[in-house]
Amino acid sequence: MLVAGGRLVDPSQPVDALRDVRIERGVVVEIGEHLVPRDGEPVIDARGAVVAPGFIDMHVHLREPGFPHKETIATGTRAAVRGGFTAVACMPNTEPALDTAERLASLAEIVARDAVCRVYPIAAITRARKGIDHTDAGELARAGAVAFSDDGNTVMNARVLRDAALAAREVPGPFISHAEDEHLKGNAVMSEGRVSRALGVPGSPAVAEDIIVLRDLAIARETGKAWHIAHLSTRGALEAMQHARAHGTIATCEVTPHHLLLTDEAVRELGAAAKVNPPLREEDDARVLRDAVRDGAIDVFATDHAPHTIEEKRGDLAHAAVGFTGLEVAVGAYALALPDLPLLRFVELLSTNPARILGIPGGTLAVGSPADITIFAERAWTVDPARFASRGKVTPFAGRSLPRSVVATIVGGEIALSP
């Protein structure tokens, strides 16, 4: 197969130029200007579009096993390829949780049967994600886990987390923090501030996130375990990251589209459709995060794709489910948040960096790499959740016009989303 006429943007080489890409048996075999199609070779016309190493979303909730009404491996990975993702890393807050090698093996069977993109499991740090005793990270890594997290929950007991990090020190794959102090958060339904007070609802202060990020980075520094902060949302957490890294801590972090684009005002306008953890913050936080993406302090774009049914998201703020779908809007939403971000940096955040952090194939289209390719273009489109492949049809971006579209997705040399 030949992907012809596109602008190849690959930060791993680095290259940003018009180049054709030839694929054979699922692998990139040749890159060049004006490659001539061979007899019978299929050609994908990428003129006017950008050809990039396949996007990797290292933070998704696929809900299987346990919650097939919200999402399955089949529907979630279809949403992924429609969003331009050739690989996703799925969080372990399933039922049962992904906390043993047997559970990872049964997930792998479902993935082999149903998935249309690559799926890498993230295993739980503690058994059943209860925060009491830690899992066997070595055994989980041998069964395919690429990282460890109790995402959805914070491991509130610092002794448990430190013991887990010490036990996993020699195991590949970072620990990933969901950073919210449960006691400071209480029964909050949004961020604490002017809007929560105006609405008269309980809010979670920014310091609930800052304090856990500071704690976890201290444990990272002491234990030497590689660490990643999920869905960073506050100025204080970002400053903690920058300070820790300046002093030698091995840590990375990600930001979601919603924390870059939206503030707590969205809760006033959209109600439960904008309810998410960590909650949408104030404009100062969103602006600081956008600046941090530009100046290199943020490593990864991740969606925290968290599908629920419309019924679960309906109703008052206190009872509605937390989180919303993200895979199918991500590429457009990131472009809306950061219209001037250089494309090499855009692709680095969506592909090269998550591959490196998780230690998985991809993130590059160098000759010999897997032919996982995302093709996108500067074409505006309007978000219509009814057309999502995801079972989660709720997003705060419904009806918004987004400036960048996914044109095609190729996974292992096979077309997963046609142009």
Residues annotated catalytic, as ranges: 304
Q: Are 326 and 256 in contact (CB under 8 A)?
A: yes
Shortest distance (Å) from residue 73 CB to Zn ion: 20
Q: Report in angstroms how near the CB of residue 152 gets to Zn ion at its nearest.
A: 6
Q: Tell me the residue nearest to Zn ion as measured from the CB.
A: 178
Residue closer to Zn ion by CB (options 9, 56) is 56
Per-residue binding letters, 105-144, with Zn ion (x by CB under 5 A): ----------------------------------------
Helix (H) or strand (E) segment spanning residue 381: strand 381-382
Closer residue to Zn ion (CB): 7 or 178: 178
Q: E-strand spans in 270-380?
A: 300-301, 373-377
What residues between 358 and 387 interact with Zn ion by CB under 5 A? none
Which two three-digit tokens encode residue 107? 């997930």
Q: Read off the DSSP letter of residue 49.
A: S
Residues 6 or more apart in contact with residue 38 via CB below 8 angstroms: none
Nearer to Zn ion, 71 or 151 (CB): 151
Please state, as a whole number, how many other Cβ atoms lie within 10 Å of the Cβ of residue 335: 21
Q: Which residues pair with 21 in a beta bridge?
A: 3, 31
Do 365 and 373 meet the contact criterion of CB atoms below 8 Å apart? yes
CB of 178 to Zn ion, least distance (A): 4
Nearest approach in angstroms of CB 198 to Zn ion is 26
Extract the tokens encoding 21. 């890409």
User: What's the rounded Cα separation, in Å, for the pair 73 and 64?
Assistant: 6
Q: How far is the CB of 149 from Zn ion (least distance, A)?
A: 8
Q: Which stretch binds Zn ion (CB under 5 A): 46-54, 160-168, 178-186, 262-270?
A: 178-186
Query: Using CB under 5 A, which of 162, 178, 259, 356 touches Zn ion?
Result: 178
> Per rule CB under 5 A, is residue 290 in the interface with Zn ion?
no
Among 50-58, 146-154, 207-215, 236-244, which window interacts with Zn ion (CB under 5 A)?
146-154
Looking at 10, 99, 151, 210, which residue binds Zn ion (CB under 5 A)? 151
Give the DSSP H/E element, type plus range, for residue 406. Answer: strand 405-411
- The site that binds Zn ion (CB under 5 A) totals a number of residues, namely 2
Q: Using the rule CB under 5 A, give the single segment among 50-58, 150-158, 232-240, 379-387 that binds Zn ion.
A: 150-158
The most distant pair of C-alpha atoms in the chain lies apart, rounded to whole Å, by 69
Where in 74-174 does DSSP place strands (E)? 85-90, 118-123, 147-148
C-alpha span between 229 and 177 (Å, rounded): 5
Which CB, 64 or 151, lies closer to Zn ion? 151
- Complex with Zn ion: residue 151 or 210, whichever CB lies closer: 151
In the block, residue with structure tokens 């030839």 = 22
Given the DSSP bridges, would you call strands 227-229 and 251-255 parallel, antiparallel or unpaired? parallel
- As a 3-state breakdown, the chain gives helix, strand, coil percent values, each rounded to 5, of 35, 20, 45
Residue 63 beta carbon to Zn ion: minimum distance, rounded to whole angstroms: 14
- State the minimum distance, in angstroms, from the CB of residue 230 to Zn ion: 5
User: What stretches of 93-205 show up as alpha helix (H) in DSSP?
Assistant: 101-114, 137-142, 158-167, 182-185, 194-199
User: Interacting stretch for Zn ion, rule CB under 5 A, among 78-86, 174-182, 218-226, 365-373?
Assistant: 174-182
Interface with Zn ion by CB under 5 A: which residues? 151, 178
